[in-house]
A = this chain, B = another copy of it.
Amino acid sequence: MASVSLRRAARISAILELLAENRSLNASELALEFGVSAATLRRDLQMLEDQKLLSRTHGGALAHDVAYELPIRYRGGRERDKKRLIAAKAAKLLPHGPLTVGFSGGTTTSEVARIISDRVDVTIVTNALNIAADLALRPRLKVILTGGVTRPQSYELVGALAEQTLRDLHIEVLVCGVDGITASTGLTTHDEVEAHTNRTMIQRSKRIIVVTDGSKVGRTLLARISPVDVINDLVTDSSADETELEYLRAAGVRVHIVADPGESD
């Protein structure tokens, strides 16, 4: 399976990945590794330089000041399947009929957004650049993006501008991704300005569904978004700590667990 000759797109992505780890790389070594001629590899590097994703040097390339990790965050097959299951479950929680649904940033929320993009009767509100870019292509969907300053690490729009935009919007159901959740400290994330924007989004929403994989349950991070009593549902997987889930249930959160094989309801 690994012997499949990599086509260009795969090479490009591999190059970017390598560049994220080592700050520089050697062209001839790479050519050997990929099994292509030096000319081809040079062309790849040339193209990436055109996109300003790296600087070429003699014999290789140097990393640019770019968040390379971001584009490749979908690695890890099993992880992704888990997120998909969570997303599918969350999508089922959304009511039928015309609906305004909000999405915060995060990989799991993006999956949910993709799933419901089939629907023709929903309006999407989000501060996630990748979700908007993805859904903007579907002409039948109305996608509203908040303004704001881009945060490279998460592709989210944050800041006063984002919050000001949200002030005029009302969201019926919000699908919210978090980096940590406990019954005692609530929803938390790494960045405090992101937390603030997410809090605003929560305040503008009538119903909150939190999606997050099990590893985040019981975890507390730097910035608090909100206490748990504002949220209605939590969708996570079976790796979540059971004790913490019990606390959350006691706090009034409807907890939905998806299992690895497949859950009915």
Residues of A in contact with B (beta carbons under 8 Å apart): 4, 7-10, 12-13, 24, 26, 47-48, 50-53, 57-60, 62, 65-72, 74, 110, 114, 117-118, 129-130, 132-140, 142-152, 155, 157, 161-162, 164-165, 168
Contact = CB atoms under 8 A, between A and B. Distances in A.
Given A52-B118, A145-B145, A9 B67 contact: yes
Given A8-B58, A139-B152, 19 more contacts: A4-B26, A12-B70, A48-B71, A51-B74, A53-B71, A53-B137, A65-B74, A65-B114, A65-B138, A66-B137, A68-B133, A68-B134, A68-B137, A69-B70, A69-B71, A136-B155, A143-B150, A145-B147, A145-B157
B74 A137 contact: no
A61 B10 CA distance: 11
Q: By DSSP majority rule, is chain A's interface helix, strand, loop, or mixed?
A: mixed
A260 to B, nearest CB: 16
A147 B149 contact: no
A149 B143 contact: yes
Nearest to A152: B139
Contact of A24 (B10, B138, B140): B10
Nearest to A4: B26
24 contacts: A4-B26, A8-B57, A9-B24, A12-B71, A13-B66, A48-B71, A52-B114, A52-B137, A52-B138, A66-B139, A68-B130, A69-B74, A129-B132, A129-B145, A136-B150, A136-B152, A138-B152, A144-B148, A144-B149, A144-B161, A145-B145, A145-B157, A147-B147, A147-B161
A47 B66 contact: no
Given A148-B144, A161-B144, A137 B10 contact: no
